[in-house]
Structure 1
Amino acid sequence: MPNQVDYHGNFNAEIFEDLFSTLCKALYEKYGPVNIHMDGASYHKRRVENIPTSNTKKQEIIDWLNAHNIVFSDELRRPELLELVQMNKEKVTFACVKIAKQYEHEVSFTPPYHCELQPIEGIWSVVKGEVAHSGPHPNLLSVRNTLLNAFKKKITSQVIIGFWRRALKNAKKYLEFDDNAQLMDEDFDEYDNSDEDCVI
């Protein structure tokens, strides 16, 4: 649908990290250190410092490599220097991982394009379905109220646990099928906007 609004466009790393910090603190106070699994949305994976890209000047790439104690030949050209950056960018952590570590939590990322491993995607499908079936909305306030009502009425603890169990079952299937399957650690840096194509 051309006029469909994607919540990713209304969310950014700053908002996420503020909420995530609050969540990490609450989790630690109630449960102690926990393992946190999340998808690879861009706002989840903001690096604590900028990584050189193809638009970065050669001297800045060299400075970055030197700052991270990466040994290289002076004869390397820009593309080769960028390749070294890509091989070593995991030395720069994601902000959410740094936040989680403050509370002794560990963060892992689910692989891209595997929304069936994300319980939140099932919850979103229920809520979006309620909005879609409630007829045309005269304004955004009406959409907002429908969303809030859907969360209150349709998303019970049983629904959340059901989607969590389904995601866990799917993860176990992957692990049974492939002994090498695993959650991605923080050095995997591909953006995952998979909920747009997700059917739960």
Structure 2
Amino acid sequence: MARREIDSKFKGTLLIIMDNASYHSIQVERQPTTSWNKPQIIEWLEKSNITYTKDMFKTQLLNIAKQNQKPTRYKVDECLQRNGHEVLRLPPYHCQFNTIEMIWANAKKFYNAHIGEDGYGDDKVLAMWEKSLQKCTPEVWLGVVKHTEKVIEEWYNREHILDNIPQIIINVNDDESDLDSE
């Protein structure tokens, strides 16, 4: 989605950007997986009013569940949407798109460089965390947001270019007669 599309889609609402941490990704209704046992899969199929036969094996039941897979819905997303907010989820394994990762890295770097200067008691440790978090000023946040926007734009442009590259076919056959005919 291009920036203009995002801006117009979410205009007038609070947009919350969410990564895929496990505590952000608790599902409203889990879908059957291979780790489920047969009775659990059957219970899900019955609750979803999906037809199956009692003589089916677990793999057959899982195939039916997969064919009837529901869209993934997350509890936190639904809570935020009920309260008038929109959620934009970051793609998995792309923490470079998440500004909080850079802020957290800066805070940890400062903390690690200065911990112990005043001692190691609980109060000293908490005070050093407070000091490191105070380094995250609005100006620092603005700089990190601008950097993240630049990273996202670069990735978007690179992906757009890659989408327009024609398919390349490489012959992996050792038969030289095929090469001569080409």
Write the mapping of 1:131-146 to structure 2, written as runs, cut at 5 A.
Answer: 131-136=111-116, 138-146=120-128
Name the CA distance, whole Å, in 2 between partners of 1:34 and 1:180: 31
| Structure 2, gaps ≥5 residues long | 1-10, 163-182
Name the CA distance, whole Å, in 2 between partners of 1:94 and 1:35: 16
* 1:47 maps onto 2:27 in alignment: yes
Write the mapping of 1:1-200 to structure 2, written as runs, cut at 5 A.
Answer: 33-72=13-52, 76-86=56-66, 88-136=68-116, 138-152=120-134, 154-179=135-160
Total equivalences in the alignment: 150
SS of the residue aligned with 2:88?
Answer: strand
Q: CA RMSD in A?
A: 2.8
| Structure 1, gaps ≥5 residues long | 1-30, 182-200
Deviations 1:57-95 (A, max 9, x none): 312212212322445565642124334445655445111
Name the CA distance, whole Å, in 2 between partners of 1:88 and 1:109: 24
Match of 1:192 in 2: none
Question: Is the CA contact 2:31–2:70 (under 8 Å) kept in the aligned structure 1?
Answer: no
Name the CA distance, whole Å, in 2 between partners of 1:151 and 1:171: 25
Question: Is the CA contact 2:115–2:128 (under 8 Å) kept in the aligned structure 1?
Answer: no
User: TM-score normalised to the size of structure 2?
Assistant: 0.69
Higher Cα Rg: structure 1 or 2? 2
More divergent stretch after superposition (140-149 vs 92-101)? 140-149
Name the CA distance, whole Å, in 2 between partners of 1:150 and 1:116: 21
Deviations 1:131-164 (A, max 9, x none): 1111435244422221111112x11111111111
Name the CA distance, whole Å, in 2 between partners of 1:130 and 1:69: 55
Question: Is the CA contact 1:36–1:106 (under 8 Å) kept in the aligned structure 2?
Answer: yes
Where relative contact order (Cα < 8 A, 6+ residues apart) is larger, the structure is 1
Name the CA distance, whole Å, in 2 between partners of 1:160 and 1:172: 18
Question: Is the CA contact 1:33–1:103 (under 8 Å) kept in the aligned structure 2?
Answer: no
- Following superposition, the deviation at residue 178 of structure 1 comes to 1.3
Structure 1 pair 120–141 and aligned structure 2 pair: CA distance change class (3 A): same
Name the CA distance, whole Å, in 2 between partners of 1:86 and 1:140: 51
Question: Is the CA contact 1:118–1:167 (under 8 Å) kept in the aligned structure 2?
Answer: yes
